[in-house]
Amino acid sequence: MRKHQAKASAIVIVAFALSGLGQQTADPADVLLQARERLLPELARMPRYTCVQTVTRKYYLAPSHQHDHDCGAIIAARESRKHELRLQGWDRLRLEIATVQAGDVFSWVGAARFDESDIKVFAGHGPLGSGDFGAFLNAALARGIIQFKQEELAEGRRVLEYSYDIPLERSSYKVHTDQGWRVTPYQGDLVLDPEANDVVRLTVRTAELPESSMACQAISEVEYGRAKIHDQMILIPREVRLRTIHQSSAETLNSTVYTACREYASRSRMLLEAPKEAAASSAANTRVTPSNSLPAGLRFYGRIVTSIDSDRAAAGDPIEGILRSEMRDKQNHLIAPAGARFHGRLMLLERQLEPADYFKIGIRLESVEVGGKEIPLSALTFPIHKRTWVDGSLFGSIVVPPDDPSTGVATFLFRHEHLSLKQLDSEWITVARDAGASNDAH
């Protein structure tokens, strides 16, 4: 899902209803106006800052009795259902997201810069959303047709709940379809703290989505909090839950947590701790000849030394490894000695429960260090010799499926209830650099 920043352009219409908690402690109209006076200017002048975004996506199977593919019937059945669907599997990814004047931009964790505003690049095969920092809230307060609903207790404090509606002509909520981006109307609920004149929670429910989107509805719940950034208490989403109801009646639930929020201007690159194994020195008569790119067809053994634990790891995490064999060109010139460090990224961490139970990880190599210089590296697992060693022993329950050269990502399957890799040894072969250029490999 894609959400864009909305600008104030309409007068909010307010209607009132009786509270279900007895006498109201605050006038709902005054609370709304004061919150708008505080939040709208704040959203308009938000400083440039960045947070780490960790998204866990759970995939649920369609109900066995549900055979209706009409979205209206699917949404109605979901609203009346009293239990969660059966879990098919889950995956996890981690991005850095930055708020800039043009909207949200993204990068993998530790990447040199933010250069992608198209969230499809990072979404892979599952749904992913943006706009949680301010676009939805700004639109609800500036463009929404708002009605007071009730006063309620939330975590021991009294809060006021409002409903809002964004018709199509006021909407900037875009959904990706097979025909490109489409704007959709939406509505939801807004919860305000009358004492702090602040937002507590925002719910966003799309209207029935177009058939070309392959989804019936998307529902977001954003829990807000504040963090100190650049000597200011900045409004940030603490946690976001995005539920996507598919036309097959299956569902996906994204749980997103934001951490490590800081000023964008002071952002520093994240580097991993160097491997403990020292790089092996080459013989005195061996000439290391680094180049700007590695030729395809070089076979080598590599050991990934960054631990990969299914409780914490996520697609997007940087990884490091060491060469366990030399890399030489066809003229037998040494390109990289055994022990040289290489860098890459975890591009996939997925747990499949049905129809088979396994973990799947995807790894993309990106560079190797030679003589203080990083040489671009793109490689896949060697397609003939597929013995893979895990934590120092030949691992019998691993499957190495064929790699897709177009992604530049090597994939591994593990039949475990919990994945905890301290090291991973495998044989690789270099491929043309453009094979690993795609960012959406996972």
Query: Which segment of 111-120, 200-209, 271-280, 409-418 scores lowest on mean pLDDT?
Result: 271-280
Which sign does the torsion angle of CA 411, 417, 418, 422 carry?
negative
Amino acid 44: pLDDT = 83
Three-state secondary structure call for residue 197: coil
Amino acid 65: pLDDT = 73
d(CA 9, CA 133): 20
Can you give the length of the chain in residues?
Answer: 442
Strand-pairing partners, residue 157, are 154
Q: What are phi and psi of 264, to 5 degrees?
A: -65, -35
- 281 confidence band (pLDDT: 50, 70, 90): very low
- Choose which CATH entry (2.60.40, 1.10.357, 1.10.3470, 2.40.128) describes domain 299-436: 2.40.128
Question: In the chain, what are the domain boundaries?
Answer: 2-266, 299-436
Average pLDDT of the chain?
80
Three-state secondary structure call for residue 32: helix
- 2-266 domain in CATH 2.50.20? yes
Amino acid 286: pLDDT = 43
Tokens 């800052």 correspond to: 49
Q: What is the pLDDT of residues 164-206, one digit of tens each?
A: 999 999 998 888 888 888 999 999 999 999 999 999 999 999 9
The more confidently predicted of residues 329 and 293 is 329
Q: What is the mean pLDDT of residues 289-318?
A: 88
Q: What is the pLDDT of residues 370-385, one digit of tens each?
A: 988 999 999 998 864 4
Q: What is the mean pLDDT of residues 116-132?
A: 71
Q: What is the mean pLDDT of residues 339-356?
A: 94
Q: What are phi and psi of 421, to 5 degrees?
A: -105, 125
Q: With a threshold of 0.85, does the pTM exceed it?
A: no
- For helices 28-44 and 135-143, give the axis angle rounded to 10 degrees: 130
Q: Is the peptide bond before 355 cis (omega within 30 degrees of 0)?
A: yes
Q: Which of 44-53, 222-231, 294-303, 319-328 holds the top average pLDDT?
A: 319-328
Residue 236 near residue 225, CB atoms below 8 Å: yes
